[in-house]
Amino acid sequence: MSSHSDRVSSSEDCSSEDSNSSSSTGSSSLDSTPGQVPNSIPDPHPVNQVPGETFVGRDDPVDDEPGPYDPEHETRDGWEERLHAAGYFPLPTFYVLDIPSRVSKIALKKIRRRLPDGYTLLYEPNWPNIVEPHREDRIGFHTISLDAGIVFPLRPLLTEVCHAFRILPGQITPNAHRYLHSFVNICSHHKIDPSLRLFLFCFEVLPGGTGCEGFVYFKGRTGRKFISDVPQSNRGWKEKFVFIEFPPFVTPLAGLKWNDHLLNHEYTLPASSPDLEASVEILLRGDPFTGRKYNYGSWVWRVESGGEGTSPAHDAAGRGVPSPGNTAEAEGNSHPAKTSTVNRETVEILDEDGPVDDRSREKAKEKVGRRQKKVATTHPSYAKKRARSDPEPASQSIEEAFVNLSLRLKEAGEIGPYAAKRLGMGSPTELARLKKENEEMAHILKSQADELIRLSGLTGTMKAEISQLKEENGQLMDEVSATKREIALKEQSFPGRAAAWVDENRAEAARVMTASPEATTESFRLLYREPEGRR
């Protein structure tokens, strides 16, 4: 790495994510050991086959994947025809190779704070694209996808999808990440195994269209859509990517690289079975808290209640489930009391089915209220307060708990030293860290303000120079026009002036015309060309 690279390791609590998604190989389940980090994964199976079952649409699995595009021996059209004949979609990389990374320092700090110990943030402004710097222990992620539910260690379902289709997480669009992580949390809430079979039974894996060449997105299968309100637009996300270096001997995506083809979704649909149909029936009932489809914002960072006397955040730390807005979890049984900083974030939501209808103001208010709940976050210190004041703590949802917390904070007014201490913010170390971060932010903002002032001054100078150049250009145009008029006038009056001069100076004209034999000959030739000169 060069000296210009930004290489920082997280100072957050050591954490590891418990497997809340069951592997298709049966290697993990909801009851797996908390805090377990897999150092390796089983060899990937053929992309259109789950162990023990062949997907519908093809009798035999595809054992040999098509070779990459070879521009020296085939045309692009020929390459695409070869892929379609083998049952694959093309994922052209020419578009992705031309997208460099541009990530702000503020975004880098935000990502750094989320990483657990052992994971290192890597960023270098001169990286040409997200494809070339990749290696087994250094994986590229788009920053908006890191905000879309990705946790470290990676969820088993994410690694299974990547191995099944031979793709990297960076090839998956942000909305697809939102679908996947919401799917895992929804299934975990209903005690359903979030397996690869069930995921592919509910979603199609498709190649990106125009503007998203080389990327992959997920689409709910007809009659099985139960997640809604993902953003319709994620502008500028492709040019904002970083790389995460994994701890030693942790390579969940070993053997994968940026792929240029994708298996046709027709060959990835698992055969229907009673267990899949039963799971889908439960998912299609909708959000148990709202009675509607699952809003992704309420479930992408969902933390389940741990029962009597257990705070949701503490339960999440034990099971490896991410708390809202943060991917650095507690270590589990090794450090049951340690938790990580929780950041509250606002998520902008655009309805999937179209713009909001203004005909019903109350309905709009209801939607806004529901969306505000999804960005609330849980702090473990709230468990003691809830245990003392709430008669039935286990019956409260995360949303209800934080509504109560926000009301109490509102009644208390500004957060003072006592309230800060109760919220775990009163330690000198924490205050010093926050003060230092505020000073760094103030310095960055001041630098940006100074740069804006300098640019404004340059803009004023350039405007004055442009005005002066316009004025000088106008004067030159006037002079050119006057010169053209003068030349035209001279050309128009020249024949008359010449005739008058000859008439007044006949002797001089005759002398000039006969000054030499050649001049005399030429003059008489000219005279005999004209009718008047032949007389």
Position 203 confidence tier, pLDDT thresholds 50, 70, 90: very high
Backbone angles phi, psi at 88, to 5 degrees: -125, 155
Give the per-residue pLDDT at 411.
58
DSSP string, 329-383: ---SSSSTT--------------TTSSPPTT-HHHHHHHHHHHHHHT----TTHH
pLDDT at 289: 86
Phi, then psi, of 245 in degrees rounded to 5: -90, 125
CA–CA distance, 509 with 499 (Å, rounded to integer): 11
Does the pLDDT value for residue 376 go beyond 70?
A: no
The pLDDT, as a whole number, for residue 38 is: 37
> Is the confidence at residue 172, as pLDDT, over 80?
yes
Percentage of the chain beyond pLDDT 90 is: 15
* Residues 336-344: contacts with CB under 8 Å, at least 24 apart: 338/13, 338/14, 339/13, 339/313, 339/314, 339/379, 339/380, 340/12, 340/13, 340/15, 340/116, 341/12, 341/113, 342/313, 342/377, 342/378, 342/379, 343/110, 343/113, 343/114, 343/377, 344/375, 344/376, 344/377
For the chain, give the longest Cα–Cα distance: 133
Comparison of pLDDT for 337 and 254, the residue scoring more: 254
pLDDT(166) > 70: yes
Spell out the domain ranges in the chain.
76-298, 428-528
Mean pLDDT of 82-96: 84
Q: How far apart are the first and last CA of the chain?
A: 99
Q: Is the entire prediction scored with pTM above 0.75?
A: no
Distance, C-alpha 335 to centroid of its chain:
34
Q: pLDDT tier at 424 (50, 70, 90 boundaries)? A: low
Model pLDDT, residue 362: 47
Comparing 81 with 243, the larger pLDDT belongs to: 243
More confident residue, 28 or 181: 181
Query: What is residue 510's predicted lDDT score, i.e. its pLDDT?
Result: 82
Q: Are 122 and 245 in contact, with CB atoms under 8 Å apart? A: yes
| Alpha-carbon dihedral 429, 379, 118, 41, rounded to 10 degrees | 170
- How do residues 104-134 score in pLDDT, each as one tens digit? 899 999 999 889 999 999 988 888 899 888 8
At residue 312, does pLDDT exceed 90?
no
Q: Give the residue-averaged pLDDT of 307-319.
A: 33
Average pLDDT of the residues in 395-423: 59
Cβ-Cβ contacts under 8 Å for 63 (sequence gap 6 or more): 46
Measured between alpha carbons, how far is 139 from 131 in angstroms, rounded to an integer? 9
Confidence of residue 72 (pLDDT cuts 50, 70, 90): confident
What is the pLDDT averaged over residues 179-208? 92
pLDDT for the residue numbered 279: 92
Question: Does the pLDDT of residue 304 top 60, yes or no?
Answer: no
- Look up residue 363 and give its two tokens: 């309905």
Provide mean pLDDT across the span 211-218.
87
Q: Specify the DSSP class assigned to residue 250.
A: -
At 179, the pLDDT band (50, 70, 90 cuts) reads very high
Tokens of 59: 């009798």
Taking 60 as the threshold, does the pLDDT of residue 363 lie above it? no
Cis peptide leading into residue 42 (ω within 30°): no
Average pLDDT of 212-220?
89
Lowest mean pLDDT among 101-105, 111-115, 266-270, 348-352: 348-352
